[in-house]
Amino acid sequence: MRSVLLSNGKNIESLILDERPVPLPSEGEIRVRMRAHTLNHIDLWVLSGSPAYSVSLPHVMGSEGVGVVDALGENISPEFSMKVGDAVALSPGQGCLMCELCRSGSESLCPSYRVLGGHLPGVFSEYVCLPATRLLPVPPSLSPLSASAVTLAGATAHQGLVVRGGARAGERWLVVGASGGVGHLACLLAMLLKLDVFGTYGPEKKREILSRFMDIPLVSHEAPDWPEKILKLSGRPFDGVLDTVGGATIPRILPLLRKGGRAVVVGETTGSPTQFPTRELFGRQLSLHGVYLAHRSDILAMLDWVAKGDLSPIVSDVGPLASISPLQKAYRRMSERDFVGKLGFGWQ
């Protein structure tokens, strides 16, 4: 079988397609024949040598994927039992499943929480063996690329907007970074939940693409005065802000909130803030939440909405992976932010 490996360096040029033996499932594991994968910003952090994801080389890339059950190991718990041919999504992150946090459904808070492709070997292979606890059922009618797109990015959007943000119908929310993987799914989810949603994007060329998929007020956050522009469009402060850009944008989003408003930060792609508006936080009784990935329940909720046709991720297919070149080009597009939504691929 073929796997996408980060071979002898931490950069895009060090990616290779490697031939490996098809793995055999161990006790409690299920082997999945992979059908589709989507890229995530975690991949870029791994490729750049980020200390948050310190991996040993060679390293199998990738956190997101969907496939079909190919073989079963022994002693699989009936709670997670599946049969050969079932369509499944991979849960990118998982805790110990035994502590109180995991049992209550808050596994991303577990001290043992680890992420595929980041802390652990990834899933960009034609076949993957994983504990049955990491697999989730997928309706067979669902597009593999669409299903893969919501396993991490979509689930994070759900965790941030619904679970941590507590967004309610009729509220006005701003999504910073509406053109990205998490951001565009957060906007689509917000519209589905009947929120009054606004968004920001980066380069101007992304506006036209976004406008094809969502009819919401948009402002480029590359404009120096973007907070003033979005507030003028809104006409009043926001009930909540979901910030998928993070870092330097954090000091600028808090003043956009009403008294008692909520800010949810799910990423940091622009560096750390040079200052933090503490007075804004306590003076206007704001809530600030951090979200790191999501829980199984978030993935299942997003898969359900996509299966019903209520939500359609924006996914650009970079083509069946006959060579490493298309994937290297896709990662360059990611690093240059030259895309909208998600990028994905299948196996030839």
Q: Quick check: is 149 in a domain?
A: no
Q: Per residue of the chain (348 residues), what is the pLDDT tens digit?
A: 999 999 988 899 999 999 999 999 999 999 999 999 999 999 999 998 888 888 999 999 999 999 999 999 999 988 887 899 999 999 999 888 889 998 888 888 999 999 999 999 999 999 999 999 999 999 888 999 999 999 999 999 999 999 999 999 999 999 999 999 999 999 999 999 999 999 999 888 898 888 888 999 999 998 999 999 999 999 999 999 999 987 778 888 999 999 999 999 997 766 665 577 788 888 889 999 999 988 899 999 999 999 999 999 999 998 889 899 999 999 999 998 889 999 999 997
What pLDDT shows up at residue 239? 98
CA distance 280 to 260: 11
255 close to 281: Cβ distance less than 8 angstroms: no
Report the number of distinct structural domains present in the chain. 2
Q: Confirm whether pTM is higher than 0.95.
A: no
What pLDDT shows up at residue 274? 58
Q: Are residues 130 and 218 in the same domain?
A: no
Q: Quick check: is 85 in a domain?
A: yes
Q: Are residues 280 and 206 in the same domain?
A: yes
Q: Are residues 59 and 173 in the same domain?
A: no
Structure tokens at 139: 């309706």
Q: Are residues 319 and 285 in the same domain?
A: no
What pLDDT shows up at residue 280? 81
Q: Are residues 172 and 248 in the same domain?
A: yes
258 close to 277: Cβ distance less than 8 angstroms: no
What pLDDT shows up at residue 68? 97
Q: Quick check: is 300 in a domain?
A: no
Q: Are residues 170 and 274 in the same domain?
A: yes
Q: Are residues 196 and 84 in the same domain?
A: no
Q: Quick check: is 147 in a domain?
A: no
Q: Are residues 160 and 207 in the same domain?
A: yes
User: Quick one: DSSP state of residue 153?
Assistant: I
Q: How far is CA 226 from CA 233, 250, 265, in A?
A: 10, 13, 18
Q: Quick check: is 145 in a domain?
A: no
Q: Quick check: is 304 in a domain?
A: no
CA distance 201 to 98: 40
CA distance 240 to 234: 13
Looking only at the bridges linking them, the beta strands covering 29-38 and 66-72 are antiparallel
185 close to 210: Cβ distance less than 8 angstroms: no
Q: Which residue range is the domain that position 180 belongs to?
A: 156-290
What pLDDT shows up at residue 162? 96
